[in-house]
Structure 1
């Protein structure tokens, strides 16, 4: 497969991952599927790891990778000034942006998982008491402690499930962008599709 075609496959893979990450971050603003006041939302949600890091910053590399296919195969064999090598080289920069964005999302998600959600842990005569009862990550191996969160319903599993999804998606995005770094280097050094050009020359 030519390097431009392979980059397009990577771009196609990154787009749905970015959409999933944005949706997960949006859902985190509704803990347990409920609407709460902004000050009761877990702090790490406001860092927008899924929306900015694995979302917006990932869309730019994905679009660039998709566009590299237009530079693919045989249209300018023997013409090294056509810009294909530069296009593959520039894709490395966008891949690096993707790695940074996904890395940011991964870090935010890991911190959020370790700290746990903000939830109602008690009541007094006038209001609910919102705290962050899990500050050291021990709740991950002690599910019985989840009952300390009275509201919103199923907030711990909601928080853990969505941030875990963001964590996994971010790691996959980092891996895909890392692959494009290697692919871009090969495309820049060896040409966008040496095999196709070779085939064209043979046919001539």
Structure 2
């Protein structure tokens, strides 16, 4: 497969991942599927890891990858393939942006999973208030602790599921962008194996 065609496949794969990450981050603003006051939303949700990191920042490399297949490889005053080589080289920079964006989302998601959600819990077994009852991921290995969150309903599974999706999607995005770094280097050094200039046999 041409390096440009392979990059297009990566771009096509990244686009739905971006959408999923944005949707997950939006859903996290409604813990347990309910509306709560902004100060009672888990802190890491406001870092917008899914919206900014794996969403907005990832759209730019995805669009660049999608356009590489149609780049004019006969640019540079007719110098065969130098336009395509430059495009593949520039895609490495966008892939690096994608890695940073996805990495940011992964870090935020990891912190959120480790901390656990904000919820209504007993304070000193005397009254209820909003807080973060878990620490150091202790609830991950001890599901009985989930009952410490009284409301919203199912907030722990909601929090854990959505941030886990963001974590996995971010790791996949990082891997795809890293693959494009290698693909871009090969395309810049070796050129596109499907050179469009050579594709027109009748060209003078």
1:68-91 superposed Cα distances (whole Å, 9 cap, x missing partner): 010277899x83365111100000
Q: 1: CA distance between counterparts of 2:174 and 2:58?
A: 10
**Residue in structure 2 matched with residue 25 of structure 1 by the alignment:** 25
For residues 195 and 8 of structure 1, what CA distance do their matches in structure 2 show? Answer: 15
Aligned to 1:99: 99
CA distance, structure 2, for counterparts of residue 72 and residue 42 of structure 1: 47
SS in 2 for 1:70: coil
Deviation of residue 122 (structure 1)? Answer: 2.8
Q: Deviations over 1:161-188 (max 9, x none)?
A: 0000000000000000000000000110
Say which structure is richer in helix: 1
SS at 1:122's partner residue?
A: strand
Using structure 1 for the length normalisation, give the TM-score: 0.90
Asked if the contact 2:74–2:80 (Cα under 8 Å) also holds between the matched residues in 1, the reply is no
Counterparts of 2:162 and 2:118 in 1: how far apart (Å)? 14
CA contact (8 A) 1:17 1:169 kept: yes
Q: Structure 1 segments of 4 or more deviating over 3 A?
A: 72-76, 194-201
How many pairs were matched up? 201
Q: 1:72 to 1:83 in 2, by over 3 A?
A: closer
* Residues in 2 aligned to 1:109 and 1:82: alpha-carbon distance in whole angstroms: 41
- What SS does the corresponding residue of 2:117 show, helix, strand or coil? coil
Q: Tell me the residue number matched to 1:132.
A: 132
RMSD of aligned Cα (Å): 2.5
Shift of 1:193: 2.4
Moved more, 97-106 or 135-144: 135-144
Unaligned 5+ segments in structure 1 are none
Structure 1: distance between partners of 2:87 and 2:74: 15
Q: Name the CA distance, whole Å, in 2 between partners of 1:81 and 1:102.
A: 31
Structure 1: distance between partners of 2:99 and 2:66? 17
Identify unmatched segments of 5+ residues in structure 2: none
Instruction: Kindly state the Cα deviation for residue 136 of structure 1 after the two structures are TM-superposed.
Output: 1.2
State the match for 1:57 in structure 2. Answer: 57
Between the aligned partners of 1:197 and 1:145, the Cα distance in structure 2 is: 65
Q: Distance in 2 between matches of 1:32 and 1:43?
A: 15
Q: Does 1:168 align with 2:163?
A: no
